[in-house]
Amino acid sequence: MRLRKLHIDFETRSEVNLKACGVGRYAAGESTEVMCLAYKVDKLPTQIIKLDDDWNISNIRRKHPRLIGAIEDGSFSVRAHNAFFEQSIYRDILVKRFGWPEVPLKRWACTAAKAAVHALPRKLETVSKILGLNHQKDMVGHKVMQKMSKPRSQWLSKGKGDKYFTRPDQLESLYAYCITDVDCEAELDDFLEDLSPHENEVWMLDQRINHYGFKVDRDLIRNALKIIDREREQYSELVSDVTNREVTSVDQRERILQWVRDQGVSLDNMQADTLREKLKEKLPHDVRTILEARLSLGKASVAKYLAFNNYATPDDIIRGTLVYHQATTGRWAGKGPQPHNLPSRGLFKKQDPIIKAVKEGDLEWLQAVYGGGINSLVSCARGVIQAREGCELLVGDWAAIEARVLAWLTGNKPALTDYHNGVDRYKRQASLIFSVPIEEIEKGFKRDVGKQAELGCGYGMGVEKFLATCLKAGINLSPELATKAVKLYRKNNKAVVDFWGDINMAAIRAVQRKGTTVKCGLISWKFEGRFLWCVLPSGRKLAYYDPRVSMAATPWGEMRPTLSYMTEDSKTHKWVRRRSYGGLLTENIVQAIARDIMAAAMLRLDDAGFKLLLTVHDEIVAEVRRIGLLGLQKFEHVMAATPKWAVGCPIAVEAWADVRYHK
DNA sequence: CGTTCTCGCGCG
DNA sequence: AAAGCGCGCGAGAACG
């Protein structure tokens, strides 16, 4: 029997800023209201419930029996684009305020998640354009919606007039827009395959995690914000004075650059490393002052405190910070306060004393010990996340998971043997590069170089990039040594190098012979419809849209058949044709397998009763009632199990428990 | 005035 | 013989 579908889309308005505060706080906000709901039951024409309608369930049941019928019929799948938003609004407003029947999570589906799994952009406007759907997003209506969805500026500033725009013509545009969205979404839904049953389990877990949320320490956030405000102001004054108002804040990159050059000092860019180098030179006093100010304040991590504050509900819970399958490899991305890039490198080790001082406002102590308030806040940003009352956090991470997966995927025996025997692979690489017995390698320079080789050289990294990567990690080495490291890696890891060529050829063949499956070790490729599929050991498929093979030059000028495909550039967000090569495909596959290992562990942990809070690529954060050492051991044990499809993959896990998150 | 692009920074 | 890759956010500047 064909799956029956109910597509829905809300337009809402609120005093809460959705972008700044996230769906969790938005939906829970008292001022948040539904302006309309468009819905489509199977293939029937899309209907709409309007602002002035009576939204109480008794009336809706009378006026929209098909809608309520579908909602109450367990055989209907309820679908939306970015379903997390619709779920939240449905539950917090329609169920709570108007008595609508609840819809359990397992009946929901999300067309944005489906687009993501197909390696297409999540944005409905973009994806419908790319696929050339009959229904396209109504961009004029979109503008009207944005106007109507927040309070009028007159009302906000002076409390004058109506709170929202509600002219009849505007409302009609809004309704038309909402209907078009549902039509567009329904067409997209039909065009794309549903998530596999297993991936649907992963998606549902993602939704549970996002709804459950994590607790933050509001007291810490408030005091941190006070410190940030004060120091920013001090620095702004200083900068204004020194530059005669040409620069009024350390954030004005272009203006500082220009001003510094006007003082006769050359400066390539405003990157921290460049500034640090520059400060080693002899500089005019004022220039030195400005650059030092910029260095102390130009820290992305302090903005986190504001994001935390915005996202947190009145009971200090932050929800909806994970984006399922945002990376084309299937990894999650972070959102809002971005829990995926909290500072971890180069921190002051113990955050508890810093947190105490921040809460007490002991700026003198922070200044004396940590060189300033903002400087110290970087080191305790993770500590904002804490366990709920009576609970503790369990945090586990996989050791060098991608390097281990690479060894397993490529059948790289020497590496596999080392990992199975617990040999330090970074030391192994160092021993080979520096021609020193492995026992003599200690922590420090040599092992650091070995680490960069083990982690980066597996995907074709060249000498120059290796040098740059090392430099960024604070390792200074000669071009000769870099050359040696890269060459030796390739010589000593033949299986990896062979895999680059093999996987590339297999993908190219699959594109050339549409419909046939081409195997390459644990991976197989198949070109079907508009997608090149890469079947992973877990059975999950990675998508590459609109693949082509054409002759193209390598960076060193050799013409070869080259695979390319369309993708959203992860930095610019532009839809571009991208050329691939063996190293890139290898990296994508390795990252995807590591993600599958993690997703499988998340499902097992969830089954075992651990409340999951976050996933950070190779790390899982869970929360439990305080149950002591036994809980931690069980957590580690469940997390470390190898899925059936990954037998022989040498994975290793470490876990700890605490009431506060840290590195 | 709002949106889009670029730079810089943070993580895995 | 040989190309590391994957993300998001804030701020300012540029564009409309």
For range A297-304, the mean pLDDT: 78
pLDDT digits (tens, 9 = 90+) for A150-197: 999 889 888 888 999 999 999 999 999 999 999 999 999 999 999 999
Positions 214-233 of A with beta carbon below 7 A from strand B are: none
The nucleotide minimizing the C1' distance to residue A580's CA is C3
In the β-sheet with A317-318, what is the strand arrangement from edge to edge? A317-318, A214-216, A385-386
Distance A246 CA to C12 C1' (A): 14
| CA A126, chain centre distance (Å) | 19
pLDDT value at A572 more than 70? yes
pLDDT digits (tens, 9 = 90+) for A558-571: 999 999 999 998 88
Residue with CA nearest C1' of nucleotide B8? A271
For range A481-500, the mean pLDDT: 96
pLDDT digits (tens, 9 = 90+) for A253-268: 999 999 999 999 999 9
Residues 6+ apart with CB under 8 A from A524: A506, A517, A518, A534, A535
Distance A587 CA to C4 C1' (A): 8
Asked if A659 contacts A392 with a C-beta cutoff of 8 angstroms, the reply is yes
pTM (2 decimals)? 0.97
DSSP element (H, E) containing A622: strand A619-625
Q: What is the rounded CA–CA span in Å between residue A273 and residue A159? A: 48
pLDDT value at A232 more than 90? no
pLDDT confidence of residue A355: 96
| CA A543, chain centre distance (Å) | 19
pLDDT digits (tens, 9 = 90+) for A78-117: 999 999 999 999 999 999 999 999 999 999 999 999 999 9
pLDDT digits (tens, 9 = 90+) for A409-458: 999 999 999 999 999 999 999 999 999 999 999 999 999 999 999 999 99
Distance A470 CA to C2 C1' (A): 20
Give me the half-sphere count of Cα atoms (radius 13 Å) on the Cβ side of residue A521: 21
Per-residue confidence band for A1, with pLDDT thresholds at 50, 70 and 90 = low
pLDDT confidence of residue A300: 66
Asked if A480 contacts A470 with a C-beta cutoff of 8 angstroms, the reply is no
Is A300 (CB) below 7 Å from strand B?
yes
Q: Tell me chain A's radius of gyration from C-alpha atoms.
A: 27
Q: In Å, how far are A281, A440, A477 from A437, measured between CA atoms?
A: 40, 6, 20
Distance A456 CA to C4 C1' (A): 5
Is A299 (CB) below 7 Å from strand B?
yes
The nucleotide minimizing the C1' distance to residue A251's CA is C11
Taking all residues of chain A, what is their mean pLDDT, rounded to a whole number?
95
pLDDT digits (tens, 9 = 90+) for A316-346: 999 999 999 999 999 999 999 999 999 998 8
DSSP element (H, E) containing A79: strand A76-80
Least reliable range by pLDDT among A372-381, A486-495, A583-592: A372-381
Asked if A590 contacts A503 with a C-beta cutoff of 8 angstroms, the reply is no
Is A150 (CB) below 7 Å from strand B?
no
DSSP classification of residue A404: H
| Residue type at position A93 | I
- Overall residue count recorded for chain A in this entry: 663
